[in-house]
């Protein structure tokens, strides 16, 4: 993720790549994608990432729910 990039646009990019991978025959679970997004966010979002990791079951967190967590940023 680039420093000036919005979280929502970054999430869309990651989901587009995931769809391309599925077309190519490689299936990634939502939890893998959610974890990838959380790991690769810019450090300025750590104040949101840590509470998400601590309070939510990442295995049950959907991509839409993750994006909603960042809507007002």
Mean of pLDDT over the chain: 81
47 found inside a domain: yes
pLDDT grade, residue 72 (50/70/90)?
low
**Nearest in space to 30 (alpha carbons), one of 3, 57, 61, 54:** 61
2 found inside a domain: no
Domain that holds residue 39: 7-69
**pLDDT of 45-70, one tens digit each?**
888 888 888 876 777 888 888 888 77
1 found inside a domain: no
Mean pLDDT to the nearest integer, 34-50: 85
For residues 70 and 58, what is the distance between their CA atoms, to the nearest angstrom?
15
57 found inside a domain: yes
How many domains, the chain? 1
Q: What is the pLDDT of residue 73?
A: 58
63 found inside a domain: yes
Mean pLDDT to the nearest integer, 22-41: 84
21 found inside a domain: yes
């Amino acid at each position: 993720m680039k420093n000036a990039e919005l979280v929502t646009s970054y999430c869309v990019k990651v989901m587009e790549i995931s769809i391309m991978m599925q077309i190519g025959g490689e299936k990634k679970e939502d939890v893998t994608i959610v974890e990838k997004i959380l790991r690769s966010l810019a450090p300025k979002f750590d104040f949101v990432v840590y509470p998400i990791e601590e309070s939510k079951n990442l295995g049950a967190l959907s991509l839409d729910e993750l994006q909603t967590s960042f809507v007002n940023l």
